[in-house]
Structure 1
């Protein structure tokens, strides 16, 4: 077969890339075309994603990828979960999408859980109740801005929104919708009961597309602007973790835990059926959708976010400390006996991360880390301990012994974290691919196009 080129827009909560894959019928060559920052913007006490900036960067990436003689066959988008945008009757964006780290949801949690309890929500949607979930975000929006009921025509998750801007087609994709707390976990469609109980308009969403769908070709306006030939826009594996899991080269799926390491760490295993038992609820585990219709039973845990925030803090203080240097400093610390709970809400908001860590250690009666190396070591060991806790919970719930840990994503470039994970969990750790989300994105396109069958 002739060479084909596929593009993956891979957006994380701290950076974005446009990746290209060249497929010759036997193998894929994956390379980065364009990379850019993704940082939320604080505006009038609200935290928003700068979508216009992101879309401009995406177009730059498409332009760069079109410069050689190999035609682009298709493009697809994967992003972080839960966030979304409102469109009006003209299909226009009402305002920039909120970031899940915005604090508005805390004001409405009490009335939200009076309408539907945490346990009920978990049993119906399979999603562990959390402040960041789409369902609570939208409920909060409606409390603050009731006029949205009369203005909003459609709600799109972030990958759906970018697909729409590229193709003009309005759709909701299954894997990203499965993070929302709005889907019925068993029917894999939006839950009429959840919408009714929370008084959220059901008409804002359409039945999710599954297993990939060619939406339409790239918008004529964009092809003219970028001077590129038209190609297919595909709703593939829209959630970055679903894409990453699709790319995992399992040896023994039932005995393997995956850890997708990025700003978040997603620790879980694949399951043919959702797990919504009392034990799963008490363990804090959640069920999300796979590209093939299976489920991911997992724990959403804080990942490299704390490390990223430490780096940002030190930069603001005039010290540029690279990730490699942070690892080197942490490796020199061999006597650490201090740990934090990375999932404590105090670490979820940006800013003053070093101070938060020191205060947490002080309040918990532990030795307070002083040097940069000690602080980073505390964070990395704490992440590894969190992984161990989740693996133990997964073994108890699935009745399968988890002997192998498959670590993927950008976070595995931190070799110390990978080694600590092996040391603390006592499991065999296999690393790679680093670009798991982008690779899974590409694979979902090849499957959708029928170029490959599995």
Structure 2
């Protein structure tokens, strides 16, 4: 993506899109990180000329480097089964209560902490001299400069959100060497310049600085929320739904831990207080399953039929870890309905409606819980990311939350990436609130008001209570 930033304007353009196909080999699911890097190089070539570059990606995964800076094998995918049982093993060394008090991070079985526990004793980890999170690895290949960007580091379950630094207590308890991580850097810090070989490969004319952006894609997405005031909740939608509030300090109570909220770090000293929800992955996996069975579905038709399906008939817990792995999602949804006493959907439209109703309910519960736990009230919900294209999901979220939903931008991560670069280079000025005002005036947005057309407030309340008592 390229961004053009000027006085009161931010424009975004897609210049190159490339596939991201994980590969299973030797029983382990890997990222094809070399193919991703080639896609980055191709994208830089297509984007020429550029004044600055920044890299954001998903969280928790990493590559290991040897003493010469060479990559020790393809990074393992967070959906791989190697972390099964690791949380229990780590809890023998540090209790969940202690771990949350130090890091404030939601329990997720694939957090970097558990991946490193799973890797203990392997030849790769024994040979490793350094660990780079995925965006830092790509940035290193572009510049030759190593660093650990803070927003992504905060997802490792090794960072204390109060000090905004690594926690020696957690690392010692979990037997993890913090020396594996290069020094921390903040969003907006310089991260080097494109290497001569990269300039030659891409046809760019140097020097081209690389800026450390908010390299966790959700951190970039939240930075691009076009809110008018601070009284907002956000939902970053896509494969995952990340729903919560932007705070100035973490919430580390045990009640917050039991509610499975996370305290990840954002730009300008903020905390992203949120709950991870399985997201549109549920629908994506249904579509993949039906296609593999010879029953491909047209998404536009499916969503139209889902909108006409009875509301709130079948709902599931969209945070259930049983939905994490790839595979037959309709079967798992049917099993979940049976376990909780809900009717099993009868056709693809029913499954789609089940997924979207369930996501809207999960959004409602997350927004309600975040306000209660953080003692903070909101007046509106902002939906950003790919889910803004799903009008039914946006409307259901407004109905479920009983709050207006502002949808947009869809490419929030790319916009957040661009505005952090622009601010670092002086093209944009001010704090994140000033940046958001520019975005609000520059972007097309759509607002959904609670309508009652897809279930009355009482029906949504009953469905939410059903989930609370069954999960």
TM-score by length of structure 2 reads 0.89
Report the Cα offset of residue 344 of structure 1.
1.1
Report which of the two has the higher share of strand. 1
**Contact map agreement 1:265 1:300 (CA 8 A) in 2:** yes
2:322 maps to 346
Report the Cα offset of residue 119 of structure 1.
1.2
Determine if the alignment matches structure 1 residue 322 to structure 2 residue 304. no
**1:207-356 equivalent positions in 2, closer than 5 A:** 207-230=183-206, 231-253=208-230, 255-356=231-332
Go from structure 1 to structure 2 and tell me whether the alpha carbon gap of 1:322 and 1:54 turns closer, same or farther (over 3 Å shift).
farther
Determine if the alignment matches structure 1 residue 384 to structure 2 residue 360. yes
Distance across 2 between alignment mates of 1:181 and 1:450: 33
Distance across 2 between alignment mates of 1:408 and 1:109: 31
**Contact map agreement 1:82 1:179 (CA 8 A) in 2:** yes
**Contact map agreement 1:336 1:374 (CA 8 A) in 2:** no
Report the Cα offset of residue 211 of structure 1.
3.3
Aligned length: 429
Q: What SS does the corresponding residue of 1:33 show, helix, strand or coil?
A: coil
Alpha-carbon displacement from aligned partner over 1:273-326 (angstroms, at most 9, x marks no partner): 111012211111110001212111110111110111111111212233233222
Determine if the alignment matches structure 1 residue 447 to structure 2 residue 445. no
TM-score by length of structure 1 reads 0.92
**Contact map agreement 1:310 1:354 (CA 8 A) in 2:** yes
State the 4+ residue runs in structure 1 displaced beyond 6 angstroms.
none
**1:135-154 equivalent positions in 2, closer than 5 A:** 135-143=113-121, 145=122, 147-154=123-130
- Tell me which moved more, 379-388 or 218-227: 218-227
Determine if the alignment matches structure 1 residue 173 to structure 2 residue 149. yes
- Tell me which moved more, 238-247 or 221-230: 221-230
Q: What SS does the corresponding residue of 2:273 show, helix, strand or coil?
A: strand
Q: Find 1:429's aligned residue among 394, 405, 408.
A: 405
Report the Cα offset of residue 217 of structure 1.
1.4
**Contact map agreement 2:55 2:213 (CA 8 A) in 1:** yes
Q: What SS does the corresponding residue of 1:292 show, helix, strand or coil?
A: helix
Alpha-carbon displacement from aligned partner over 1:368-417 (angstroms, at most 9, x marks no partner): 11111000000100001111111111121122222211100011100000
1:11 maps to none
1:10 maps to none
2:178 maps to 202
**Contact map agreement 2:360 2:393 (CA 8 A) in 1:** yes
Distance across 1 between alignment mates of 2:311 and 2:116: 46
Distance across 2 between alignment mates of 1:31 and 1:171: 28
Q: What SS does the corresponding residue of 2:228 show, helix, strand or coil?
A: coil
- Tell me which moved more, 439-448 or 319-328: 319-328
Distance across 1 between alignment mates of 2:211 and 2:428: 15
Unaligned runs of 5+ in 2: 431-471
Q: Find 1:128's aligned residue among 82, 86, 106.
A: 106
2:66 maps to 88
Distance across 1 between alignment mates of 2:426 and 2:213: 13
Alpha-carbon displacement from aligned partner over 1:199-243 (angstroms, at most 9, x marks no partner): 111210133101321222111111112222121111111011110
1:360 maps to 336
1:28 maps to 10
2:77 maps to 99
1:396 maps to 372
**Contact map agreement 2:72 2:124 (CA 8 A) in 1:** no
**Contact map agreement 1:267 1:298 (CA 8 A) in 2:** yes
Determine if the alignment matches structure 1 residue 51 to structure 2 residue 29. no
1:108 maps to 86
Report the Cα offset of residue 148 of structure 1.
4.0
